[in-house]
Amino acid sequence: MAAVVLDQEPDYREVVALICRRLGLQPLCVDDSDRLLEALSDPGLHLVIADADALGGADGIAMVRRRTDLPLVVLGGGPTERYLEAGADYHLPKPFAPGLLRTTAQAALRRAVSVTPMARSRMVLGQVVFEPTRRRLHSDRGRLSLTGREADLLEFLATHTGQVISRAQIIDGAWGGVAEATDAAVVSSVYRLRRKLHEAGASVRIATLPGQGYRLLLDAGAAPADGGAPGQTAMLPRS
């Protein structure tokens, strides 16, 4: 197992490489984005850790995401939400505590290996096809890309369709319980995911049950706010 590490600062590169070794990963250290892209073809690669500036910001993140579905941890300054929208799984500003990076990397690896290929292949949500691995929605309206966080959220809700899922369960079950996965992150991710599902024409909705959590339902008027009898739940066959 290996991890590619992109950072132009030798001190940071050394720290990240040490953390990778402690996680049982062989670090492949590079100092420019072209070499990182070349390294993505390594079949033994399991994780990407890259400095935001060295990668080229959000555009570089999007470029990496087009090449691979491997978990991507971005380090350094910049707009966290924009980085996540571009396809990063996690963002840690510099300077960071080595223990926090280790926890984040562990969560990224755990999430990547805990979902089977069958679960990550394809889900049908009414008139919309959801591809968790590719992080996108397909419908007759076209294709919509999801962030890593949005895709993990939708997959988690879909695999528990009809069930009430609390914010804490989303943070732990969908996002690995990392420090940046907060209640506020759940609220904003649900809001953005709802907009994208609506834009794609999906016949499912994410219902909010105050004080309890969220539930994925098939029709827009199915879930009473008081958490009473659920409406028709979404059928999500996989192929």
Q: What is the pLDDT of residues 137-160, one digit of tens each?
A: 988 888 888 888 888 899 889 888
Q: Give the residue from 114, 147, 171 where a domain finishes.
A: 114
pLDDT band, very low/low/confident/very high, at 38 (cuts 50, 70, 90): very high
State whether 106 and 39 are in the same domain.
Answer: yes
State whether 16 and 103 are in the same domain.
Answer: yes
pLDDT of residue 55: 95
Q: What is the DSSP letter of 233?
A: B
CATH code for position 143: 1.10.10.10
Task: Tell me if 228 is assigned to some domain.
Answer: no
The H or E element containing residue 205 is strand 205-209
Gyration radius of the chain's alpha carbons: 18
State whether 131 and 184 are in the same domain.
Answer: yes
Nearest to 112 by CA among 176, 159, 60: 176
State whether 54 and 144 are in the same domain.
Answer: no
State whether 98 and 191 are in the same domain.
Answer: no
**CB-CB contact of 186 with 176 (8 Å):** no
Q: What is the mean pLDDT of the chain?
A: 83
Domain count, the chain: 2
Over residues 30-59, the mean pLDDT reads 94
Higher pLDDT, 220 or 26: 26
Residue ranges making up the domain that contains 139: 123-217
Higher pLDDT, 19 or 115: 19
CATH code for position 7: 3.40.50.2300
pLDDT of residue 175: 84
Spell out where the chain has E strands: 2-6, 26-30, 45-51, 72-75, 90-92, 123-125, 128-131, 136-139, 142-145, 205-209, 213-217
pLDDT of residue 135: 85
Over residues 81-99, the mean pLDDT reads 88
Task: Tell me if 227 is assigned to some domain.
Answer: no
- Dist CA 226 CA 2 (whole Å): 48
Task: Tell me if 130 is assigned to some domain.
Answer: yes
The H or E element containing residue 142 is strand 142-145
How many residues in the chain?
Answer: 239
pLDDT of residue 170: 92
State whether 82 and 140 are in the same domain.
Answer: no
155-174: pLDDT as tens digits: 889 888 778 999 999 988 88
- Dist CA 26 CA 46 (whole Å): 10
Over residues 210-221, the mean pLDDT reads 77
Task: Tell me if 238 is assigned to some domain.
Answer: no
pLDDT of residue 232: 40
pLDDT band, very low/low/confident/very high, at 124 (cuts 50, 70, 90): confident
**CB-CB contact of 27 with 45 (8 Å):** no
* Residue 56, Cβ density class (10 Å: 0-12 exposed, 13-18 middle, ≥19 buried): middle
Task: Tell me if 19 is assigned to some domain.
Answer: yes
